[in-house]
Amino acid sequence: MYKRQIENKINSKLGDGKAIVLIGPRQVGKTTLVKKLLKNKEFLFIDGDDPGDRELMGDANTSQLRSIIGNHKLVFIDEAQRIKNVGLSMKIIIDQIKNVQLIASGSSAIYISSELNEPLTGRKWEYTLLPISWKEYEEKHGYLEAEKQIENRLLYGFYPEVLNNIGSEKEVLKQLVNSYLYRDVLSFSNIKKPEIVEQLLKALALQVGNEVNYSELARLIGVDKNTISRYIDILSKNYIIFKLGSFSRNLRNEIKHNSKIYFYDNGVRNMIIGNFSPLDIRLDKGALWENFLISERIKQYHYKDLFTNYYFWRSKQQQEVDFVEENSGVIKGYEFKWKASPSVKLPKTFVDTYNAESQIIDRKNFREFVSM
């Protein structure tokens, strides 16, 4: 079992009167983490995937909720997004049934925003859990073993089930993508044409590290631009992909409106395109490295509550900075290389214009960047 970076943070909030809401994609270990935190404690487990539990909890009034909870002081609602009006039920428990600690997990940010945010305003602590981070991985396995496994991690990613089934990674990822990823997206997002989602994800997976043009994607898939925009938003809120916007402040010749899209997990990305070939024969090694570095950095933003804006930068003259961070007025630019030569530098135009700190991240020095 991996020690998760946010364990202590969540543990410190137990018993303070507010609900704890843990969101993130399916199969990243949300249930495992909560049960670990509640080990040796008596708690009521309500399973949103269980039809009986859903029927029991759906639209329950105060009296019914008192009967369901009984004498329990700890209540864990797993996959809460599947229970009708669960936000209102949680509000009733917090306001009317005293000394009960509520914990809820969910795998859709869309649902959390629409169903929990309003009724639980001022009544919850919210945390995000993503696939195992490099920091968590190295802390468990040690420097030497992690070093040996870096190429496998670029190919198969960091989902716990993948890490726990060495030799069966492709089977696990196939099950994960087909049964969980697509099921959740289609179930909770009112998507009527699943084939569009599959085509879009494949197109995005093949364009990792490149700017994405919504109009071109629309023509490729045969839908309108608004549909592409809506589906990308849905995929983002289900923790499959995330966007990098373009950084622009001063220069007239900067690209101002384009985006790049990355996957939260390399293994999911590689399963979508069906390519697990070794790194040394791949044409997309640079894209895999870039996706790994940026997704690991994003995990640290979540876990350390860093209010950092992140972008890429590019000029119309094709000058480019892979990753730009802006925090409290400080701008940092990063260039990613698998093996960097001494001559690699960030564009002088970018560094001088924004008085930016700059760093080249490669195979030798990536640990500090992904662990912070």
**What mean pLDDT comes out for the span 244-271?**
92
How does residue 243 score in pLDDT terms, banded at 50, 70 and 90? Answer: very high
Asked if the model's pLDDT at residue 184 lies above 80, the reply is: no
Percent share of the chain, pLDDT over 90: 83
**Nearest in space to 286 (alpha carbons), one of 225, 363, 196:** 363
How does residue 171 score in pLDDT terms, banded at 50, 70 and 90? Answer: very high
- Give the 3-state DSSP-derived string for the chain, with helices as H, strands as E and coil as C: CCCCCCHHHHHCCCCCCCEEEEECCCCCCHHHHHHHHCCCCCCEEEECCCHHHHHHHCCCCHHHHHHHHCCCCEEEEECHHHCCCHHHHHHHHHHHCCCCEEEEEECCHHHHHHHHCCCCCCCEEEEECCCCCHHHHHHHHCHHHHHHHHHHHHHHCCCHHHHCCCCCHHHHHHHHHHHHHHHHHHHHCCCCCHHHHHHHHHHHHHCCCCEECHHHHHHHHCCCHHHHHHHHHHHHHCCCEEEEEECCCCCCCECCCCEEEEECCHHHHHHHHCCCCCHHHCCCHHHHHHHHHHHHHHHHHHHCCCCCEEEEEEECCCCEEEEEEEECCEEEEEEECCCCCCCCCCCHHHHHHHCCEEEEECCCCHHHHHHC
Percent share of the chain, pLDDT over 70: 98
Domain residue extents for the chain: 7-128, 134-371
**What mean pLDDT comes out for the span 187-195?**
71
Cβ of 270: how many Cβ atoms within 10 Å?
A: 25
**What mean pLDDT comes out for the span 186-209?**
84
Asked if the model's pLDDT at residue 253 lies above 90, the reply is: no
pLDDT value, residue 251:
84
Least confident of 23-27, 28-32, 192-196: 192-196
Least confident of 75-84, 87-96, 112-121, 363-372: 112-121
> Model pTM greater than 0.75?
yes
How does residue 107 score in pLDDT terms, banded at 50, 70 and 90? Answer: confident
Cα end-to-end distance, the chain, whole Å: 22
**What mean pLDDT comes out for the span 7-17?**
96
**What mean pLDDT comes out for the span 6-31?**
95
**Fold designation for 7-128:** Rossmann fold (3.40.50)
Mean pLDDT of the chain: 93
User: What does the alpha-carbon distance between residue 154 and residue 247 come to, in Å, rounded to a whole number?
Assistant: 27
User: What does the alpha-carbon distance between residue 198 and residue 181 come to, in Å, rounded to a whole number?
Assistant: 11
* Residues 313 and 254: beta-carbon distance below 8 Å: yes
pLDDT value, residue 172:
97
